[in-house]
Amino acid sequence: MKPHPTSSLIVATYNWPEALAAVLSSVRAQVELPTELVIADDGSKEPTRRLIEDAARDFPCPVVHVWHPDDGFKLAQIRNKAVSRARGAYVIQIDGDMLLHPAFVRDHLDAAAPGHFMGGSRALLSPEASRAVLAGGPLPGPLGRGVRNRFNALHLAPLGRALAPIVPARDPMRVRGGNMAFWREDFIAVNGYDEAFVGWGREDTDLVLRLQRHGLRRRWFKLRGVAYHLHHREASRDALGRNDGILEAALASGRRRCDAGIDQWLCAS
């Protein structure tokens, strides 16, 4: 098996320390740790800062906390800032409500290949199952109560590796940033996330569009990289119309790079 690249696991979070604590526990349990953990914090309050500070004291890999003041939903910007501070050659990106199978990081690193990016899936937990996990209970597994998208909870890594070269990936535009991986140099080449996207929606679709125009392909990534999504109230969709307009303009422009991207943070990192 090829040696694995250095890696940065980036976790996006905002004012839900209970979920972040559960995510960090699932990172601790990884059979292969990332080179570093980078927490992309979109303006959380003091309880999140204390949680991260306490966890970092004995975490099994270095922890970097990247924070900016709360100025609305600026996920694109805080992820750019996090990647600018990351030092791994390969970036694995999750949301702060995604609980990881113990082989999650190893699966992503096994699948890493030049010229490709990865888009993983998620199994959805019901409100009841989410409460049970947050109270300290175990992940229910693919056949457990309260699990939706059960196929996405199946972990059969040898079969997933065998099928990846022959099964076509689904529409790359369906990739979501909550379970995604890419080479840091590819992300920088397209200037990362477009920070014109403020509020929920479409910033990850725009990134994938530009990665494809840069010549990258998505590889099929089922039966590996398993993650469970905690149930929560949906974020406001008030900005979706505006963000759809930005995405439509990006589709029409043919651009590979965005204007307001990661380059403005690289000099400061």
Give the pLDDT of residue 14: 97
Q: pLDDT category, 175, cuts 50, 70, 90?
A: confident
Domain boundaries in the chain?
7-266
Q: pLDDT category, 269, cuts 50, 70, 90?
A: low
φ, ψ dihedrals at 200, nearest 5°:
-70, 130
Indicate left, alpha or beta for 254 from its phi (over 0: left) and psi (-120 to 50: alpha): left
Residue 155 pLDDT greater than 70, yes or no = yes
User: Rounded mean pLDDT of the chain?
Assistant: 94
Q: Which of 48-52, 89-93, 136-140 has the lowest mean pLDDT?
A: 136-140
Q: Which of the two residues, 159 and 172, has the higher pLDDT score?
A: 159
Give the pLDDT of residue 173: 64
pLDDT digits (tens, 9 = 90+) for 222-264: 999 999 999 988 777 877 789 889 999 988 999 999 999 999 9
Under CATH, which number does the domain 7-266 receive?
3.90.550.10
Whole-number percent of the chain with pLDDT over 70: 97
Could you write out the three-class secondary structure of 29-78?
Answer: CCCCCCCEEEEEECCCCHHHHHHHHHHHCCCCCCEEEEECCCCCCCHHHH
Give the pLDDT of residue 172: 59
pTM over 0.85: yes
Mean pLDDT across 177-194: 96
Residue 167 pLDDT greater than 90, yes or no = no
